[in-house]
Amino acid sequence: MKEKVKVLLTETEVDARISDLGAQISKDYEGKEIHMICILKGGAFFACELAKRITVPVSIDFMYVSSYGNGTTSSGNVKIVKDLDEPLLDKEVLIAEDIIDSGRTLHHLIPLLYKRKPKSIRVCTLLSKPERREVEMEADYTGFTIPDEFVVGYGLDYAQKYRNLPYIGVVEQ
């Protein structure tokens, strides 16, 4: 059965909010350099757009952490598929995440990254679904708080489809 996708947040809304986040992050990190960690695959679209809007120096690294597979809910098993290429020692780390849902991925990941001795770790997420939290996890920067609906677009997928949509949509069966 083919799914329908209803627009939740338009491309214009998403673009404007990412610009706001970039301005706030630039202000907060004034005089510093940011080492951005993009959480793949979904975070790639958001991280690239966010990095373009940050005015302080940004280096970027990628980490692939999986807990979903092809389903629509977290399996609860967090697996590091691709680790970072660069050390984090004494770096100002900003994690760019597409969505915080159950919170398990970041709850598992942040303590692991702190063992690598960065100066700091902050989290910027495009979307947050607080109704779905299973562990306490809040981002330092949040684009949008959304209802408990399965969303796609802007890097978010349904069985690896719809990542390329330039807006955030809700999958309707």
Kindly report the CATH number assigned to the domain that includes residue 57. Answer: 3.40.50.2020
Q: By CB neighbour count within 10 A (0-12 exposed, 13-18 middle, 19+ buried), where does 85 fall? A: exposed
Phi then psi for residue 130, to 5 deg, are: -60, -25
Tell me what percent of the chain is helix, strand and coil, each rounded to the nearest 5. 25, 35, 40
Domain for residue 51, yes or no? yes
Question: Is 76 part of a structural domain of the chain?
Answer: yes
Is 167 inside a domain boundary? no
Structural domain contains residue 163: no
The answer to the question of residue 162 being in a domain is no
CA angle 46, 25, 37 (to 5 degrees): 45
Residue 101 a catalytic site member? yes
One digit per residue, the tens of pLDDT, for the chain of length 173 reads 477 899 999 999 999 999 999 999 999 999 999 999 999 988 999 999 999 999 999 999 999 987 655 554 555 567 888 999 999 999 999 999 999 998 988 998 999 999 999 999 999 999 999 998 888 888 999 999 999 999 999 999 888 899 999 999 998 87
Would you say residue 87 lies in a domain?
yes
Question: Could you tell me if residue 18 is inside a domain?
Answer: yes
Take residue 40 and report the two structure tokens written for it.
């793949």
- Number of domains comprising the chain: 1
Domain containing residue 99: 11-148
6 located within any domain: no
Catalytic residue among 20, 28, 85, 101: 101
Closest CA to 14 of 39, 66, 49, 41: 49
